[in-house]
Amino acid sequence: VNLKRPCPFWADDGHCSIKDCHVEPCPESKIPVGIKAGSSNKYSKAANNSKELEDCEQANKLGAVNSTLSNQSKEAFIDWARYDDSQDHFCELDDERSPDAQYVDLLLNPERYTGYKGPSAWRVWNSIYEENCFKPRSVYRPLNPLAPSRGGLEFDGLFSRTGLCLEKRVFYKLISGLHASINLHLCANYLLEETWGKPRWGPNVKEFTRRFDPIETKGEGPRRLKNLYFLYLIELRALSKVAPYFERSVVDLYTGNGHEDAESKALLLDIFRDTKSFHMHFDEKSMFAGDKKGAKSLKEEFRLHFKNISRIMDCVGCDKCRLWGKLQTQGLGTALKILFSEKEIQSLPENSPSKGFQLTRQEIVALVNAFGRLSTSIRELQNFKVLLQQTR
């Protein structure tokens, strides 16, 4: 992850100085050799070992086009190819080759309440909702769900009454569900007290009530939680769809430790088997199903809007919040990429890489961990229900 990318939308207003905002990167000695040596696309042993050969073949191909090509032209061809690859991405991925990119152990940097709040945090969410969400013109500012509502507007009902199409309603629900999930994590892992330098983290019922209670949120809280379940179904559907990609023998999840790699792949395939046993997924076939030209245009608009949201994550002032925000946004973007690549996934060759559909190492890590965060949110929601019953 690159936590030093500048905010592309407004001047940086300073980073969070609270110690809990800090992210501890991995020391060089702890990074698995297969990850450190391979590029983002190359997660199989064969691919890592054949990188030099590929580079050589690429140079030969470029040279064969025209022997008088300048180095500048060759670089332009490579940039064009990279641009073509990015056309399937719903997210702005960090460049692993950047000197500012660093490896982070997510287990040592858990997502929890850091104290990052106020105008800086609000501006990020406000920008996501206001500038990037499809919404009918009759919805006025502020649309941010944490802002005081005007008489408890029912956004879901308002969307359907104003004729906003399914795709645009889905887009809003996804963002709302992601926001609800992140808020649940913060409520469930809240700094309750800090005595003699020993912090105690745990669920904060008061904070949960402030963000989700029907009365305190004027009816918005339950809708936010409904959108969380909707997002969970979307990502569950993506995991079940992408299973054939990982079931092929050519995909090894290569890190350099053969035993751990085999174990990781077996665990991943277990998750896919579990997702297939649950059949009540969201059916994305109803999306972008109109006339071809209109559907293509809407899908591209959808992709660019979400890509813009992934760029806003570089405006988060707290490093730990930025880390987990980027991860969960990229996970959702990867899920969307999968859902709209069904034909390409079904036609994948068994024993060779496919140019029709590929996932980078970053996308795989983000997809699995983002789904893990949603699963945790739903588990924590059940825990809060029990705690609320005990306090009444």
Domain boundaries, the chain: 169-288+325-391
Q: Is 162 annotated for ligand binding?
A: no
| Residue 36 main-chain phi, psi, to 5 deg | -65, -35
* Beta-bridge partners for 194: 199
3-state secondary structure 136-201: CCCCCCCCCCCCCCCCCCCHHHHHHHCCCCHHHHHHHHHHHHHHHHHHHHHHHCEEEEEECCEEEE
pTM of the model: 0.80
DSSP conformation class of 26: P
Element at 202 (helix H, strand E): strand 198-202
Report how far residue 152's alpha carbon sits from residue 161's, in angstroms, rounded to the nearest whole number: 16
Please tell me whether residue 28 adopts helix, strand or coil conformation.
helix
Report how far residue 128's alpha carbon sits from residue 306's, in angstroms, rounded to the nearest whole number: 9
Q: Contact, 357 vs 238, CB < 8 A?
A: no
Q: What is the dihedral of CA 258, 264, 268, 270, to 10 degrees?
A: 90
Q: Quick one: pLDDT at residue 164?
A: 60
Report how far residue 336's alpha carbon sits from residue 180's, in angstroms, rounded to the nearest whole number: 19
Q: Quick one: pLDDT at residue 79?
A: 47
Q: Quick one: pLDDT at residue 52?
A: 44
Q: Contact, 332 vs 235, CB < 8 A?
A: yes
How far, CA to CA in Å, does 330 sit from each of 52, 307, 326, 353?
29, 9, 6, 22
Q: Could you tell me where the DSSP H helices lie in the chain?
A: 33-37, 45-49, 51-65, 71-86, 119-132, 155-161, 166-188, 205-212, 220-247, 258-276, 292-312, 319-339, 342-346, 361-391
Q: Is 360 annotated for ligand binding?
A: no
Q: Is 322 annotated for ligand binding?
A: no
Q: Quick one: pLDDT at residue 16?
A: 66
Catalytic residue positions, numbered? 318, 321
Residues of the chain with pLDDT under 70: 12-18, 37-88, 131-166, 197, 281, 284, 288-290, 295, 353-354, 392
DSSP conformation class of 101: B
Q: Quick one: pLDDT at residue 210?
A: 93
Q: Is 114 annotated for ligand binding?
A: yes
Say if residue 163 is exposed, middle or buried (CB neighbours under 10 Å; 0-12, 13-18, 19+): exposed
Q: Contact, 331 vs 362, CB < 8 A?
A: no
Q: Is 15 annotated for ligand binding?
A: no
* 340 closest CA partner among 262, 282, 253: 282
Q: Is 211 annotated for ligand binding?
A: yes
The CB-side HSE value for 269 (13 A sphere, CA atoms) comes to 15
Q: Contact, 256 vs 33, CB < 8 A?
A: yes
Residue with tokens 């502020």: 142
